[in-house]
Amino acid sequence: MTQAFPKLLTFNEFIEWYPNNDKRYELHRGVIVEIFAPTGAHEKVVGFIARKLTVEFDRLNLPYTIPKTALVKTPSAESTYSPDVLLLNLDNLDDELLFQKQSTVSQAASVPIVIEVVSTNWRDDYYNKLRDYVRVASRREEMGIPEYWIANYAALGARKFIGNPKQSTIFVCELVDGEYQMTPFQGNTAISSPTFPQLNLTAQQIFDAAN
């Protein structure tokens, strides 16, 4: 659901408007979008991925955390997202001016990995967020998150992404020379993560978590 306003909102206007209720909202290029309650399967996948990453960064004693709710503000467009799984680098949060009061980060150094679990709004994950999380060579103001996962356990979306017939797919998008290189993982293929090279996780394990 989108919220109708007479003009596009800035981030500051969005934060000032943000109601104190149990609902979640994002700002998509100046337009407020309500994030509807996810399905149980979606939440099981989110929890499973978060647990696996937590085990990994604990094992490596890295200064990371996964917040329950936090926002990612992309600088070049008035877009602010609430990712399904957001890995934060605690060592960089002192440099995040928006974090203490607004739980918002805007620097790539704060976000080693961002993960979106695909639902019916799959176009946002494959187009808008893919565009806004990346740094394009000609637009240095873009955020440039180094690793972005698109976890499509339900095989939703266009066949050009997940094949014909459609197949459940995990995409790991790695930032290389200012562009995301998208690598698909299906079935029992081990997921290759630039941030966690020793991660022991297959695509099928993520898909099974939805059951």
Distance CA 142, CA 211 (A): 37
Peptide bond into 165 cis (omega under 30): yes
Identify the CA nearest to 189 among candidates 211, 174, 168: 168
Residue 65 lies in a domain: yes
Residue 53 lies in a domain: yes
Strand partners, 46: none
Question: Which residue bears the tokens 């197949």?
Answer: 167
pLDDT the model gives residue 142: 58
What is the domain range of residue 158?
39-208
Q: Number of folded domains in the chain?
A: 1
Taken in order 28, 33, 38, 43, the sign of the CA dihedral is positive
CB neighbours (10 Å) of residue 177?
Answer: 7
Residue 78 lies in a domain: yes
Identify the CA nearest to 33 among candidates 71, 70, 10, 3: 3
Residue 23 lies in a domain: no
pLDDT the model gives residue 137: 38
CB neighbours (10 Å) of residue 39?
Answer: 13
Q: What is the pLDDT along the chain (211 residues), one digit of tens a residue?
A: 555 566 889 999 999 999 988 888 999 999 999 988 899 999 999 999 999 999 999 999 999 999 998 999 987 668 999 999 999 999 999 999 999 999 999 999 999 999 999 998 899 999 989 988 885 434 544 578 999 999 999 999 999 999 999 999 999 999 998 889 999 999 999 999 999 999 999 999 999 999 9
Residue 171 lies in a domain: yes
Residue 75 lies in a domain: yes
Contact 35, 24 (CB under 8 A): yes
pLDDT the model gives residue 36: 86
Residue 26 lies in a domain: no
Residue 168 lies in a domain: yes
CA dihedral 64, 83, 139, 94 (to 10 degrees): -40
pLDDT the model gives residue 151: 97
- Which residues, at least 6 apart from 111, have a Cβ–Cβ distance to it below 8 Å? 72, 86, 87, 88, 89, 105, 143, 145, 146
Distance CA 193, CA 191 (A): 6
Q: Give the CATH number for residue 93.
A: 3.90.1570.10
